[in-house]
Amino acid sequence: MWKAANAAGYHTLVSRRAYSTSTDKGSKVEESSQADRHVSTQPRTAPSPSENHLQTSLPHLTSSGAAHMVSVASKPSTERTAIATGTVRFSNPTPLSLIHAASNKKGDVLSVSRIAGIMAAKHTPTLIPLCHPIALTHVGVTLHVVLPGNGGEARDFGSIVVESKVSCTGQTGVEMEALTSVMGSALSVVDMCKAVDKGISIGDVRVVLKEGGRSGTWREEGWESRGEE
């Protein structure tokens, strides 16, 4: 009886489940249940190309739930780009003062961390088990210093925003390479500054742009590149 009751509840839930007309964050949801008191008489619009390619399952899992590397043999090679970003926040004013004075004992924090981000992108398949080895055509990493008072936080001692752009011509995307690049660069900043700031944090690491492939272009709403330094 428990299974039957839950199955019935599940089918009721499915019949009332909403659909989204947009893949953007915060997109409005329209109810399609006939049980709703106010039923829209407007015809539904045809799904956009991007909606036709929405992923409904985890591609790295087989039907039995085992992890595997997804085959991309049937995919055409196209130009693909991904941009990821993340922020390193300081908990005291010393790191930024040393960076500006170029007096950090370990060297040039920004230059070393930029190279660390490039190297990290190239090592992504050795760090992330199910990533394909990809011949990257470009890795560009920029580190932007945000001065205290410009971060919009109560205890703001400045930060560094890392932005990584990775490109390839291939059969799979480079989102993971861009994310790994950001993390490698950010961790290098932490390593070079941890002697004078034990409370450094890394946050807001995410993909903000992807181009190419079957799903086309996706961009985080409101995001703008800080550009080259």
pLDDT value of residue 78: 87
Same-domain pairing of 152 and 90? yes
Phi and psi at 110, nearest 5°, equal -70, -45
Statement to judge: residues 210 and 113 lie in one domain: yes
Q: What is the pLDDT of residue 154?
A: 58
Same domain, 172 and 116: yes
Q: Say whether pLDDT at 18 is over 80.
A: no
Q: Give residue 89's pLDDT.
A: 96
137 part of a folded domain = yes
More reliable by pLDDT, 213 or 186: 186
Q: What CATH number has the domain bearing residue 116?
A: 3.30.70.640
User: Do residues 30 and 105 share a domain?
Assistant: no
**What residue spans of 88-226 are helical by DSSP H?**
94-101, 109-122, 124-127, 175-193
CA-CA distance, 120 to 165, in Å (whole number)?
12
Q: pLDDT digits over 109-124, tens only?
A: 999 999 999 999 999 9
Is residue 141, in this structure, part of any structural domain at all?
yes
224 is a domain residue: no
Torsion of CA 57, 61, 62, 68, to 10 degrees: 140
Say whether both 213 and 114 belong to one domain. yes
Q: What is the mean pLDDT of the chain?
A: 78
Q: Does 16 share its domain with 113?
A: no
The predicted model scores a pTM of: 0.69
For the segment 56-85, the average pLDDT, to the nearest whole number, is 73
pLDDT confidence band for 150 (50 / 70 / 90): confident
Which range marks the domain in which residue 125 is found? 78-219
So what's the pLDDT on residue 105? 79
Domain for residue 71, yes or no? no
Residues 82 and 139 in one domain: yes
What domain count does the chain have? 2
pLDDT in tens, 162-177: 999 999 998 888 999 9
CB atoms within 10 A of CB 161: 19
Same domain, 1 and 85: no
Residue 59 lies in a domain: no
Residues labelled as active-site residues: 191
